Structure 1
Amino acid sequence: MKLRVLGCSGGIGSDSDTTSLLVDSDVLIDAGTGIGNLKLDELVQIDHIFVTHSHLDHIAFIPFLVDTVGFLRTKPVIVYATRETVNILQNHMFNWLVWPDFTKIPNMEAPYMQYEIIAEGEVIDLDGRMITPLPANHVVPAVGFQVNSGRSSLVFTGDTTTNDALWSVVNTIENLKYLIIEAAFCEAKRDIAIRSKHLCPSLLCAELEKLKFHADIYVTHLKQGEDELTMREIQACAGKFNPRRLLKNQIFDF
């Protein structure tokens, strides 16, 4: 089982794209601008999109993906999200005003896209690849995901802040190998991080102290222009965990 980082930045710009992770060739976790780097034959293979939450940097390319490949496929792209997130997608994106409702195109019997409601703790088994929504603490309803190959697991927190509920689950994952966790702001913007329910270095370091298993830790969602500063601040307080910066096009084998 492989995961490829298509985008992991807190913004866009030269060689930076927002969050999107490709599992094998057919599963996406979030659908930020990183999808735009895939070739058409790669886009057509995507059958499943798991959405952490409804913020634009995580969903912006769902409409373009479905519009691009829908007529080339024989089955719908399935979008997995919580009931709250699906409601937001229906009401505010696929609403015929911002974008067509592809659950009704070309018709309701054979649509280009369909929704699958998920809930925390529910295991979705895709041919032995087990994906489980995890608790997240953000300003909109949100989840993270555990991706379990059976051999080992990768946890992606999604956007979150201080979150004891997450660690109570993560600390039961005995085959945990990789942890991808966010830090959206540098320490000088701690107040903004708290108000927007993100992490900054001091908050991230406090969260990592709750982790009971060893894992290779990677930091995502860094803001351009302060990314290097933020990583230095993280290393200063969390050096014993050896957190590394998540990189675009990085591949995890697990």
Structure 2
Amino acid sequence: MQVKILGCSGGIGDSLRTTSILIDEDILIDAGTGVGDLTIDELLLIDHIFVTHSHLDHIVSIPFLMDTVMGLRTDPVTVHATAETIKVLKEHIFNWKVWPDFNVIPNAEEAFLQYSEIKLGEVTTLGQRSITAVPANHVVPAVGYHIDSGESSLVFTGDTTTCDKLWQHVNAIENLKYLIIETAFSNGEIELAKISKHLCPSLLFDELNKLTRAAEIYITHLKPGEGEVIMQEIEQSKHEFKPKALQNQHVFQL
């Protein structure tokens, strides 16, 4: 299994792209602005989109993707998300006011977009690959994802703050290889991090103290203009884990 980072920033500008991860050629985890760098031929291969939560930086490319591939492929695109996130997509995005409702185009029986509700701990198997929703703690209902090739696993936390239940799941993964975890703010903005339910370096290491397995750790969702400060604060820590900053186009092999 190949996992490619299309976007991993908390904002846009220059080369920054918001959150999106491509698994092999046919699965997206979130659909931020990084999806826009794919060619039309690559967009046509996307069969599944797993959404962590409903915030715009994680879903913004779904409407454009649907508009692009509509009529160019025969099978629908399946959006996998929690019931709460699906409700938001239906009410606030695909509602004919912001964007057409591809769930009924050309008709309800042959729609270009279909929804598949996911629940925490529920495994979705696609070929030899399994994707499981894991707990997250954000200002809206949110999940992370455990991606397993059978040989090794990657966990993507999505947007989250302190979440003990997440680590209960992560620590049970025997073939864990990679952990991608957010850190959106610097320590100087810890109160903003807490209010918005994100992490800063001090909160990050509080969470990593709960990790009992070895893993390569990568930091995502750095706010534009703050990435250098955040990573300096992380690098200056004496913690046993030494996280690295995630980069666009980084490829993980599972």
- Give 2:5's aligned residue: 5
1:176 equivalent to 2:176? Answer yes
> Aligned-pair distance for 1:107?
1.1
What is the deviation of 1:108? 1.1
* SS of aligned partner of 1:162: coil
* SS, match of residue 88 in structure 2: helix
Structure-1 separation of matches of 2:102 and 2:173: 37
What is the deviation of 1:237? 2.2
- Cross-structure match for 1:97: 97
Tell me, which stretches of 5 or more residues in structure 1 are unaligned? none
1:219 corresponds in structure 2 to: 219
| Alignment pair present for 1:232 and 2:232 | yes
- Counterpart amino acid of 2:159? D
Alpha-carbon distance change, 204 to 238 in structure 1, aligned in 2, over 3 angstroms? farther
- Alignment partners' CA distance in 1, 2:154 and 2:119: 18
Aligned pairs, how many?
254
Structure 2 residue identity aligned to 1:253: Q
Residue aligned with 1:79, SS? strand
Contact 1:138–1:198 (Cα < 8 Å) also in 2: yes
For the residues of structure 2 that align with 1:90 and 1:238, how far apart are their CA atoms?
46
1:128 deviates by 1.5
Displacement of 1:239 after TM fit? 4.4
1:49 aligns with 2:40: no
Query: Does the 8 Å contact 1:29/1:49 carry over to 2?
Result: yes
Per the TM alignment, residue 193 of structure 1 is displaced from its structure 2 partner at its CA by: 0.3
Alignment of 1:1-254 (within 5 A): 1-237=1-237, 239-254=239-254
Aligned alpha-carbon RMSD (Å)? 0.7
Structure 2 CA distance for partners of 1:166 and 1:238, relative to 1, 3 Å: farther
Q: What are the superposed Cα offsets for residues 195-234 of structure 1, whole Å, 9 maximum, x if unpaired?
A: 0000000000110111000000000000111101000111
Is the 2:125–2:131 contact (alpha carbons within 8 Å) kept by the matching residues of 1?
A: yes
SS of structure 1 residue aligned to 2:71: helix
Counterpart AA for 1:53 = H
- TM-score (normalizing by structure 1): 0.99
Moved more, 233-242 or 59-68: 233-242
Between the aligned partners of 1:15 and 1:98, the Cα distance in structure 2 is: 27
What percent identity do the matched residue pairs reach? 60
Runs of 4+ in structure 1 off by over 3 angstroms are: none
Q: Distance in 2 between matches of 1:20 and 1:238?
A: 31
On the 8 A contact 1:19/1:31 being kept in 2, the answer is yes
Deviations 1:60-95 (A, max 9, x none): 000000110021111100000000000000001101
One-letter identity of the residue aligned with 1:139? V
Stretches of structure 2 lacking an aligned partner (at least 5 in a row): none
1:37 is aligned with what amino acid? Answer: D
User: Partner of 2:98: helix, strand, or coil?
Assistant: coil
Looking at structure 2, the residues matched to 20 and 85 of structure 1 have their Cα atoms a distance apart, in angstroms, of: 17
CA drift of 1:132 comes to 0.0
Query: Separation in 2 of the partners of 1:188 and 1:233?
Result: 10
Q: Check whether the contact 2:205–2:239 (CA below 8 A) recurs between aligned residues.
A: no
Q: Aligned with 1:72: secondary structure?
A: coil
Shift of residue 238 of structure 1?
A: 5.4
Alignment partner of 1:241: what SS? coil
Contact 2:5 2:251 in 1 (8 A): yes
* Alpha-carbon shift at residue 240 of structure 1 (Å): 2.1
CA distance in 2, matches of 1:133, 1:168: 13
Question: Contact 1:205–1:238 at 8 Å: present in 2 too?
Answer: no
Q: What whole-Å deviation, never above 9, does each CA across 1:81-121 have from its counterpart, x for those lacking one?
A: 00000000000110110001000011111111000000000
Look up the SS of the partner of 2:6 in the other structure. strand
Amino acid at match of 2:113: M
- TM norm structure 2: 0.99
